[in-house]
Amino acid sequence: MGRAASDGWLEDYIVVVPHAWRDDDLWREIQTETQERIGTSLREMYAELGRLPLSPSLRLLVRQIKAHRGAPTAHG
């Protein structure tokens, strides 16, 4: 990693960057590192959601939707 990692930036902290620094490489490194962390967290969170069991009310809704899709329609 770049300077941001070696400077000991801690997760879960807000980093305030003055406007004068925002074109600096450090600012871009901070942005990139933060975006990567957010992306990793979101991917892990959504992967876990797929493994969770559905609630009884959602299971019922899924069954109703499947039954409705499989039922013949009056339109043809």
Tens digit of pLDDT for each residue in 27-56?
Answer: 788 889 989 999 999 999 888 887 889 899
DSSP state of 18: -
- Does the residue 39 lie in any domain? yes
- Does the residue 75 lie in any domain? no
- Does the residue 18 lie in any domain? yes
- Does the residue 45 lie in any domain? yes
- Does the residue 76 lie in any domain? no
- Does the residue 61 lie in any domain? yes
Task: Write out the residue range of the structural domain in which residue 33 sits.
Answer: 3-70
Find all residues with CB under 8 Å of 1, minimum gap 6, and list them. Answer: 29, 33
- Does the residue 19 lie in any domain? yes
- Does the residue 8 lie in any domain? yes
Counting the structural domains of the chain, the total is 1
pLDDT in tens, 64-76: 999 988 877 666 5
Place of tokens 């975006």: 35
Q: Out of 8-12, 19-23, 46-50, 54-58, which region has the weakest mean confidence (pLDDT)?
A: 8-12
Count of beta carbons in the 10 Å neighbourhood of residue 30 = 20
